[in-house]
C-alpha cells in the first residue's frame, strides 16, 4: 500500500482517537435533552415515529429564547464550551496553554443576548439531528446485519423497511456507523467554529480583559519598584557599613556598623515580606512606611557616613497614605543613589507638607570623578513614575554644583 494512502487513512482516522471528538459528541447529545423534557408537555409527540424528532427541535425554541435573555446563560454556555467543545486544557486534549477563544462573562448588552440566543438555537437543532442519527444509524446497521437470510423477515427502520433479505446486506452494515462518525466529527468541528463566533469575547469583553491585564502589569511594576527601592536601599547601606567597618575605625565603630546592618536587614525583611504577601494573596497589605518615618532613612544614611541636613515641616503625618508612602520611597531612592554613586557626601533633605500636598527635595554634592553622578538609571525612572501616578511633578539633574532631586505630590488629584 503506498505511503500516501496510509497517511491519508491515518489523517481520516485520527479524529476518532481524540478525546475532544467524544466530548463534542456528548455536548451535542446534551443539547437534545431540553427537547425531551419539553416533549413531556405533549406526550403524544413520542407516539409518532419520524416526527418526534421534529417536535423536539421545535418545542424548546421559545424556552431557549427566553433563557438567552438571562445574562448568566452566556456564562453557563461559555463554561460548557470551554470544557467540552474547544481545545482547552480542561478538555484533556493537547492544546497547550492557549487562552480559550470563548468567554465566560455574563451578557452585558442585548447584542450579547442575541448572540447567545443564536448559539442556543444552533446547539439545539444540531444536537437533535446528531441525537437522532446516534439512535437510528446503529439500529440501521444492526438491521442490515440481521436481514441477510430468508429466515428473517424484512426489518423496519426509521428510514423505512429494508425489503427482502439479501446476503450482501452484511457488506452495507458498517456504513451507517461510518456515516455516524463522519457526522459526529463534522458536527463537532462546526460547533467549535460557531462557538468561537457566537460565544467569543465581544468588544466590551476584550476591553475589560485589556484593562485587567494592564492593571495586573501596573501592579507587578509597582511591586518591582517597591523591591528595587526598599531592598536596594538596604543592601547599599549594608555594603557601605560593612566596607567602612572592614576599613578601620575601632571596636566601637565596628559595633555601631554591625548594629546598623542588623537594623537595616530587619527593615528589608519586613519590606520583602510585605511584597511576598502581595504576590501570594494578590491584595496589597495594609501599612507600609510613610513620610512620618523619614527619620529612620536619615539615620540610616548618616550611619553609612553621609552628613545629612534635614528640614521636615508641616503636617507630614496628615498626608494621605498613598502620598506619604510614595514620598517615603522617593526619599529612600534618592538617598540610595547618593550613597551608591557619590559616596558619603553631605546631603540636604527637605520635606515640606501642607494641606495641598508635599514638596520633596534631596541635594548632594556632585562627585569629583565625572560620570559617577546618580543619573539615568531605573531609580530615577521609578521616581518619575511614582510622581506621575499621583498627578505630581518630578525633576532631577545637576544644579549649582549639586545633584538635585525635587518632586511635588498633591494631596488630591490636580484639576
Task: Specify which residues 353 forms β-bridges with.
Answer: 358
Q: How far apart are CA 411 and CA 278, in angstroms?
A: 25
CA atoms within 13 A on the CB side of 405: 30
Question: Taking a C-beta distance cutoff of 8 angstroms, is the pair 303, 265 a contact?
Answer: no
Among 340, 332, 251, 254, which residue's Cα sits nearest to residue 299? 332
Question: Taking a C-beta distance cutoff of 8 angstroms, is the pair 332, 295 a contact?
Answer: no
Question: Taking a C-beta distance cutoff of 8 angstroms, is the pair 390, 336 a contact?
Answer: no
Q: What is the pLDDT of residue 188?
A: 92
Q: What is the pLDDT of residue 94?
A: 40
Query: Which runs of E-coded beta strand occur in 72-186?
Result: none
Q: What is the pLDDT of residue 231?
A: 73
Q: How far apart are CA 108 and CA 166, in angstroms?
A: 61
Q: What is the pLDDT of residue 132?
A: 87
Q: What is the pLDDT of residue 127?
A: 92
* pLDDT tens, residue order, the chain (415 aa): 454 655 565 566 787 888 888 999 999 999 888 877 776 666 665 565 557 777 788 888 988 999 999 999 999 999 889 888 886 554 443 434 456 688 888 888 888 999 999 999 999 999 999 998 998 888 888 877 776 654 455 555 555 555 566 666 677 778 888 999 999 999 999 999 999 999 888 777 777 666 677 666 666 666 776 676 677 667 776 776 676 666 666 676 667 667 767 777 777 777 777 777 766 665 555 556 788 888 888 887 777 777 888 899 988 888 888 888 888 888 888 888 887 787 778 889 999 998 888 999 999 987 765 444 444 456 788 888 888 888 889 998 888 888 899 999 998 644 4
Amino acid at each position: 500500500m503506498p505511503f500516501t494512502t496510509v497517511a491519508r487513512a491515518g489523517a481520516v482516522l485520527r479524529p476518532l482517537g481524540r478525546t475532544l471528538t467524544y466530548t463534542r459528541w456528548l455536548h451535542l447529545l446534551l443539547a437534545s435533552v431540553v427537547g425531551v423534557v419539553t416533549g413531556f408537555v405533549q406526550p403524544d409527540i413520542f407516539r409518532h415515529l419520524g416526527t418526534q424528532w421534529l417536535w423536539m427541535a421545535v418545542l424548546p425554541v421559545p424556552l431557549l429564547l427566553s433563557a438567552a435573555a438571562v445574562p448568566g446563560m452566556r456564562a453557563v454556555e461559555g463554561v460548557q464550551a470551554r470544557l467540552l467543545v474547544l481545545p482547552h486544557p480542561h478538555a484533556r486534549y493537547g492544546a497547550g496553554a492557549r487562552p480559550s477563544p470563548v468567554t465566560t462573562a455574563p451578557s452585558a448588552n442585548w447584542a450579547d443576548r442575541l448572540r447567545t440566543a443564536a448559539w442556543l438555537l444552533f446547539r439545539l437543532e444540531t444536537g437533535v439531528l446528531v441525537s437522532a442519527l446516534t439512535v437510528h444509524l446503529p439500529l440501521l446497521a444492526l438491521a442490515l446485519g440481521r436481514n441477510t437470510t430468508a429466515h428473517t423477515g424484512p426489518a423496519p427502520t426509521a428510514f423505512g423497511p429494508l425489503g427482502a433479505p439479501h446476503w450482501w446486506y452484511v457488506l452495507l452494515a458498517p456504513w451507517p456507523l461510518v456515516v455516524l462518525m463522519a457526522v459526529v466529527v463534522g458536527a463537532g468541528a462546526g460547533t467549535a467554529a460557531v462557538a468561537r463566533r457566537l460565544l467569543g469575547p465581544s468588544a466590551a469583553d476584550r476591553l475589560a480583559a485589556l484593562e485587567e491585564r494592564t492593571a495586573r502589569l501596573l501592579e507587578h511594576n509597582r511591586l518591582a519598584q517597591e523591591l528595587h527601592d526598599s531592598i536596594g536601599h538596604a543592601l547599599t547601606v549594608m555594603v557601605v557599613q560593612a566596607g567602612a567597618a572592614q576599613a578601620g575605625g575601632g571596636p566601637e565603630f565596628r559595633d555601631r556598623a554591625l548594629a546598623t546592618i542588623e537594623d537595616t536587614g530587619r527593615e528589608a525583611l519586613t519590606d520583602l515580606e510585605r511584597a511576598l504577601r502581595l504576590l501570594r494573596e494578590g491584595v496589597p497589605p495594609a501599612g507600609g512606611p510613610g513620610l512620618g518615618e523619614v527619620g529612620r532613612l536619615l539615620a540610616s544614611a548618616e550611619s553609612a557616613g553621609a552628613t545629612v541636613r534635614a528640614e521636615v515641616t508641616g503636617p507630614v503625618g496628615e498626608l494621605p497614605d498613598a502620598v506619604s508612602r510614595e514620598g517615603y520611597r522617593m526619599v529612600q531612592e534618592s538617598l540610595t543613589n547618593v550613597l551608591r554613586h557619590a559616596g558619603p557626601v553631605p546631603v540636604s533633605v527637605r520635606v515640606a507638607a501642607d494641606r495641598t500636598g508635599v514638596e520633596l527635595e534631596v541635594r548632594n554634592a556632585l562627585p569629583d570623578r565625572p560620570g559617577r553622578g546618580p543619573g539615568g538609571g531605573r531609580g530615577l525612572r521609578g521616581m518619575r513614575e511614582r510622581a506621575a501616578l499621583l498627578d505630581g511633578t518630578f525633576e532631577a539633574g545637576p544644579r549649582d554644583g549639586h545633584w538635585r532631586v525635587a518632586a511635588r505630590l498633591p494631596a488630591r488629584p490636580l484639576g
